[in-house]
Amino acid sequence: MFPTGEGSIRLFRVGGIQVYLHWSWFLVAVFELTTRREVYGSLAWNAAEYLALFGIVLLHEFGHALACRSVGGRAEQIVLWPLGGVAYVQPPERPGAVLWSIAAGPLVNVVLFTVLTAWSVFVWPDLESVPREWWLFWRSLWIINVVLLVFNLLPIYPLDGGQILRALLWFALGRARSLQVAAGIGLVGTALLALGAIWLRSVWAGLVVAFIGLNCWAGWKHARWLMQMERENAWLRVETSRD
């Protein structure tokens, strides 16, 4: 349910991590640039803002990938697409390793928040001396980063917040049960997000909620499968001990 590098454009490779751009990114780019044309005096600023959005997303995904590698996991691919980015990470099957691999992404946004805020406070304290387009662009970056940080930390699986919750529960409940609980909470959260999308009458928000909901349901089914495997393995161990 996540985009893959297949059929996507290869952008560059850093430290063994290949970055792809999904073809649908361009369709949404055209829509976004035309709908926000009145914000800046030049369309070039709209393009810069859209590229900066995905620059922030890319840094976030590299946070996941590099953290995963630091604990001995695999991370070889990042795909950028209209709904954000996906870092394909395979951390070791340990709650601590999974927790660090997921938490590192939002931590990147925390660092960016600190840098952007410090620049606004100490470098540009007098906004009258700053060109209007530069200030609008910087403010947009600050808002984008904060929105991405807050949204990603919602405890709704498969968002980072939901996966962090799952990793924390893993310490006490185990691999399968923690995923089931996190996915169950995520399904409730998805329903609330759907109500919000209906209230906003936003097609874009509806697409985001649908994507989250489908992946949350997939997580729930995977948890059921893991629990079934655990029961079968426990039964096999009992039978083996009897023999």
187-196 pLDDT, tens digit per residue, is 999 999 999 9
Question: Do 10 and 103 reside in the same domain of the chain?
Answer: yes
Question: Do 42 and 58 reside in the same domain of the chain?
Answer: yes
Could you tell me the residue range of the domain that residue 179 belongs to? 155-243
| Total tally of structural domains belonging to the chain | 2
133, 45 Cβ separation under 8 angstroms: yes
Given 103, 119, 153, the domain boundary residue is 153
* 232 Cβ contact list (under 8 Å, min separation 6): none
Question: Do 138 and 182 reside in the same domain of the chain?
Answer: no
Question: Do 189 and 231 reside in the same domain of the chain?
Answer: yes
Question: Do 123 and 171 reside in the same domain of the chain?
Answer: no
Q: How far apart are CA 91 and CA 81, in angstroms?
A: 23
Q: How far apart are CA 181 and CA 30, in angstroms?
A: 40
Question: Do 106 and 51 reside in the same domain of the chain?
Answer: yes
Question: Do 9 and 55 reside in the same domain of the chain?
Answer: yes
Q: Which amino acid is at 81?
A: W
Residue 81 confidence (pLDDT): 84
SS3 readout for 69-92:
HHCCCEEEEEEEECCEEEEEEECC
DSSP 8-state symbol, 157: T
Question: Do 143 and 168 reside in the same domain of the chain?
Answer: no
Residue 5 confidence (pLDDT): 62
Question: Do 171 and 58 reside in the same domain of the chain?
Answer: no
Question: Do 20 and 104 reside in the same domain of the chain?
Answer: yes
Given 153, 179, 196, the domain boundary residue is 153
pTM: 0.87
In angstroms, the first-to-last Cα distance of the chain is 43
Given 100, 125, 153, the domain boundary residue is 153
Question: Do 138 and 36 reside in the same domain of the chain?
Answer: yes
Residue 211 confidence (pLDDT): 87
Question: Do 165 and 53 reside in the same domain of the chain?
Answer: no
Which residues of the chain fall short of a pLDDT of 70? 1-5, 124-129, 232-243
Q: For 102-139, how does the pLDDT look when each residue is reduced to its tens digit (9 = 90+)? A: 999 999 999 999 999 988 777 766 666 677 788 888 88
